[in-house]
Amino acid sequence: MPDSPTTHTKIDTTDVDNSATATDGMKDGVITCDACPVLCRIRPGQTGACDRYGNMEGILTRMDPMAVMRKVTDGSGKTVPFADAAKWDGTVLRPADTFVTGIGSGTTYPDYKPAPFIVASKHRNVDMVTVVSEGIFSYCGLKAKIDTDRYVGPETAPVRREGEQVGHVTTAEYGSQMLALGGVRHLTGGSKKEGTVTCQTMLELCNGEAVDFTVDGGATLTLQAGKPPIINGLMEERMRVGCGSATIGIFAKQWHGHADEVIVVDDHITGVLSEHQAGRFLGMEPAGLCVRGRRSTPGRYFQVAEPGSGWGGTDVTDPLEIIDRIDAKKAKPGMRLFMVSTTGEDAAYFVLNDELKPEPADMPEYLAMVVDRIGENCEPALTSILFMAGAGGSLRAGVTENPVRLTRSVHQSLTQVTCGGAPVFIWPGGGITIMVDVTRLPANGFGYVPTPAIVAPIEFTLRQDDYAALGGHTKSIRQLEDIDADHLRQEFWPTDTQWPYGEDANEKSTP
């Protein structure tokens, strides 16, 4: 996505003047912004605390333009507006290939108002409506998925920025460490500085900026959505191919006959080939190299070392440290031992001497090739940032006078929810709790208000007859063609994302 013409500045609440009310009117050219509960009094030519609204010649003006998404029309992977001139009917915005997002649209505050834009369109001869707004979210947070086996900190450890706790380490997933960041407790339940730093952190991560963190008892982190994580100053390159046991299973045949024992070092499950079911299936006998830790099942060991930044996410830098003993009844001089990590970034080859001690040796070319293949099968390490929020009263009231009907409509899949046009995951259970990958939104799609809270776009798309049935604000519906397109921000719809009305984004459109 191209960059937005407007970028967000550092959050600062020190100069917010909210002593006035929305009914004070203009004094000395000062106007009161009613877009959020702060009610900033804005002097001529200045903007409010959030930088989203300004006083332009006595008129409260949105400073960043509203974003609309344009569908691909030429099949080349790029949108070429009006490329099909023979079918263009002269309208600036064509309903068939235009989707209005909540980015730059404005809010429903003070809650009783209909959404800023309730836009009618027609899709395959069906009358549709998209309700467009920007939600002011206090109940919101981020889930950060960090593709690495390296130790970032103990589970539940505080995650800090500028000394303030902005989240915590949560349960690790397969090949990834996970953080929970933000949330209402940090935004509003602590000190003013904690809330401000938390809001700043969430805003920057949502808008694709890099942010530095420290973890109590753990690592230093630099995280940026869609980019490799930086852990203790080192950039991660690979996500592991699997745990030690899985790696054994994948590559057992390729190692068989080229090593008498293979040990795959992993903080989760360390694999030992000759004991593993894969080795037994290939006819291997246990080689007598006993690793420390807790045996789970044959050839699979837990807790061979402490977590760390060494081999396979352990604190081991010398892989021989995990060998507890060598059974002289099974091991023999000349036995070939190959040790490797789950990413292939660390590998070593040894031969047992006459005293059954492993001695370093040159790695055979074939085994080196398999090490490269492990690396080839590792996906690039990335940081994923998912924004999670609950669409509550004010948002739903902007859609309908009977908010529970909107909730039911969403869970019945009659209403499709998007965030800046991006598809969202709807959590089951009560309410409308959404989760969205921030990289799927146009650049700088998120904002803030200094209450503090995050401002995020949200759209509800459904049939017009369904909208009327749920008690929607039908009198506020406007046609897409009636929206002033002169100052809109037009974005290209990503070709790998389904168009909100159901068909592929690059399907040929008709007016």
**Domain end marker among 376, 398, 431:** 376
Residue 59: in which H helix or E strand, if any? strand 59-62
Report if residue 360 sits inside a domain. yes
Can you say how many angstroms the Cα of residue 193 is from the centroid of all Cα atoms in its chain?
Answer: 25
The Cα–Cα gap between 426 and 5 comes to 31
Report if residue 445 sits inside a domain. no
Report if residue 89 sits inside a domain. no
Query: Do 43 and 32 form a contact (C-beta atoms < 8 A)?
Result: no
Average pLDDT for residues 160-186, to the nearest whole number? Answer: 97
Residue 164 and residue 196 in one domain = yes
Phi, then psi, of 409 in degrees rounded to 5: -65, -40
Residue 187 and residue 300 in one domain = no
Residue 119: in which H helix or E strand, if any? strand 117-123
Assess whether pLDDT exceeds 70 at residue 449: yes
Report if residue 337 sits inside a domain. yes
- Total residue length of the chain: 511
Amino acid identity at 148:
T
The Cα–Cα gap between 321 and 262 comes to 15
**Domain end marker among 180, 200, 235:** 235
Name the nearest CA neighbour of 129 among 511, 463, 452. 463
Which of 59-68, 272-281, 283-292 has the least mean pLDDT? 59-68
Name the nearest CA neighbour of 273 among 293, 310, 298. 298
Q: Where are the beta strands (DSSP E) in 353-473?
A: 358-360, 383-391, 416-419, 422-423, 425-426, 432-437, 447-449, 453-463
Instruction: Return the pLDDT at 73.
Output: 56
* 8-state DSSP, 312: G
Query: Do 94 and 490 form a contact (C-beta atoms < 8 A)?
Result: no
Assess whether pLDDT exceeds 70 at residue 28: yes
Note down the domain range covering 286.
Answer: 244-376
Residue 281 and residue 209 in one domain = no
CA-to-CA dists, residue 153 to 180, 223, 314, 346, angstroms: 13, 15, 12, 22
∠297-149-347 over CA atoms, to 5°? 75
Average pLDDT for residues 108-135, to the nearest whole number? Answer: 86
Report if residue 472 sits inside a domain. no
In this predicted model, what pLDDT tens digit does every residue of 59-69 receive, in sequence order?
Answer: 888 777 888 88
Of the chain, the percentage scoring pLDDT greater than 90 comes to 67
Report if residue 415 sits inside a domain. no
Residue 324 and residue 207 in one domain = no
Q: Hey, is 244 helix, strand or coil?
A: helix
Strand-pairing partners, residue 298, are none
Report if residue 321 sits inside a domain. yes
Which two structure tokens, joined as six digits, stand for 340? Answer: 């490797």
Residue 276 and residue 359 in one domain = yes
Residue 259 and residue 347 in one domain = yes
Q: Where are the beta strands (DSSP E) in 286-365?
A: 289-291, 294-297, 300-302, 323-326, 336-341, 347-352, 358-360
Residue 251 and residue 173 in one domain = no
- The band of 486, judged by pLDDT with boundaries at 50, 70 and 90, is low
**Domain end marker among 376, 411, 433:** 376
Assess whether pLDDT exceeds 80 at residue 108: no
The predicted model scores a pTM of 0.86
Residue 250 and residue 222 in one domain = no
Residue 253 and residue 356 in one domain = yes
* Domain count of the fold of the chain: 2
Assess whether pLDDT exceeds 90 at residue 3: no
**In terms of C-beta density within 10 A (0-12 exposed, 13-18 middle, 19 or more buried), how is residue 233 classed?**
exposed
Residue 224 and residue 257 in one domain = no
Report if residue 494 sits inside a domain. no
Residue 230 and residue 314 in one domain = no
Query: Do 249 and 278 form a contact (C-beta atoms < 8 A)?
Result: yes
Phi, then psi, of 98 in degrees rounded to 5: -130, 135
Residue 410: in which H helix or E strand, if any? helix 403-411
Residue 270 and residue 354 in one domain = yes
CATH code of 226's domain:
2.40.30
Q: Hey, is 73 helix, strand or coil?
A: coil
**In terms of C-beta density within 10 A (0-12 exposed, 13-18 middle, 19 or more buried), how is residue 423 classed?**
middle
Residue with structure tokens 């030992």? 272
In this predicted model, what pLDDT tens digit does every residue of 492-510 receive, in sequence order?
Answer: 887 777 777 765 444 444 3
Instruction: Return the pLDDT at 124.
Output: 79
Q: Where are the beta strands (DSSP E) in 342-431?
A: 347-352, 358-360, 383-391, 416-419, 422-423, 425-426
